[in-house]
Amino acid sequence: MKKNIVYVTGCLGFIGSYVTRECLKRGWFVRGIDKCTYASNKKLLDELNQYENFIFEKKDINDIEFLYECDYVINVAAETHVGNSIVRSDDFVHSNINGVHHILELIRKYRAEGKDVPTMLHFSTDEVYGDIHEGAHTETDILKPSNPYSATKAAADMLILAWERTYKIPYVIVRPTNNYGAGQYVEKLIPKACKYLRVGRKIPLHNNGTPVRNWLHAQDTANAVMTIIESGITNEIYNICGGFEQDNLTTVRKIVKLYHGDDEYEKYLDLSISRPGQDMRYALDDTKLQSLGWKAKAVFDIELEGIVEYYRKNFIW
């Protein structure tokens, strides 16, 4: 049975680590790339290095000199925090646009005797579509990014489509909804709320907690990637949807209840913040992906209990 040889960029990041584990469990050979930013979990190397089929390189994706023989470059490396992109967008352009361009050029120049070029499997985001008040976005909808982060991700998507048309670089673009799970860095809503509860500070909640998010467990995301790769399909875009949505206030209220057992959640919140370029609701239609046999399995309220307990025991600065 053929075993894939893959790169996973951003392998020490939240989603990247889940994808890396799934590749390794299948016996695939994985070359993990990560430049070890503030959001990388370097402790994961102790786990990943136990696999004989794993090799790690500490490197910016812009600094990869060439590609060893491989079947896929799974690009999860990215700057992802919307708030940071609003304050300073340079790093987002560097990683999310220049980095993708660099990988595409490496694939274009790829040389391996008797072998086709590898497929670029790129992680985009639901945010490239902009917000939607009713219904759900499909893969053919136009892109209307609302902030510097989503604009850089949309630009990367356009580069990939252009490189396929001009240079015949095979690709898959995945656009997942809001990922959650144990191990996520504390700039994201769930772990940030847990951190602030632990240190006795009020949880900053943008726009009075009214934005609605569709929650997708990172394990379901990783399983979706495996489904797509194992299907052998290329040159397609797939939405990945968790199938569960609620406003951010409800999410934080549940976290407070799990953490403190307190129904009077208001005293734990700071509602004075309003984020520029805030998208009020994301929603995706992932019928196309489900036609391959994938379906989200995680149940948000069940998973949330374990995640809150994880952050209760693991303080992350």
Indicate the residue type of 41: N
157 is a catalytic site residue: no
Mean pLDDT of 264-291: 92
Looking at residue 2, its pLDDT comes to 81
**281 — phi, psi (to 5°)?**
-155, 130
Looking at residue 278, its pLDDT comes to 79
Looking at residue 113, its pLDDT comes to 60
The residue from 34, 79, 126, 245 that is catalytic is 126
Q: Determine what percent of the chain is predicted with pLDDT higher than 90.
A: 92
Locus of tokens 């209307």 = 144
> What tens digit of pLDDT does each residue of 222-236 get?
999 999 999 999 999
Q: Are 122 and 100 in contact (CB under 8 A)?
A: yes
Token pair for 90 = 């340079």
The residue from 22, 60, 79, 127 that is catalytic is 127
Of the pLDDT bands very low, low, confident and very high (cuts 50, 70, 90), residue 191 is very high
126 is a catalytic site residue: yes
**82 — phi, psi (to 5°)?**
-55, -45
Mean pLDDT of 163-185: 97
Q: Which helix (H) or strand (E) holds 172?
A: strand 171-176
**Closest Cα to residue 301, out of 176, 187, 190, 221?**
190
Q: What mean pLDDT, rounded, does the chain reach? A: 95
> What tens digit of pLDDT does each residue of 96-133 get?
999 999 999 999 999 766 668 999 999 999 999 999 99
Q: Determine what percent of the chain is predicted with pLDDT higher than 70.
A: 98
> What tens digit of pLDDT does each residue of 43-88 get?
999 999 999 999 999 999 999 999 999 999 999 999 998 989 999 9
| pLDDT beyond 80 at 280 | yes
Mean pLDDT of 89-102: 97
The residue from 149, 185, 196, 268 that is catalytic is 149
For the chain, state the CA radius of gyration.
Answer: 19
Q: How many CB atoms lie within 10 A of CB 76?
A: 27
Q: Are strands 178-180 and 54-58 parallel, antiparallel or unpaired?
A: unpaired
131 is a catalytic site residue: no
| pLDDT beyond 70 at 141 | yes
Q: Are 252 and 193 in contact (CB under 8 A)?
A: yes
**92 — phi, psi (to 5°)?**
-70, -40
| pLDDT beyond 80 at 160 | yes
d(CA 231, CA 223): 12
**Domain 5-184+217-243+278-298 CATH class label:** alpha beta
Mean pLDDT of 297-302: 98
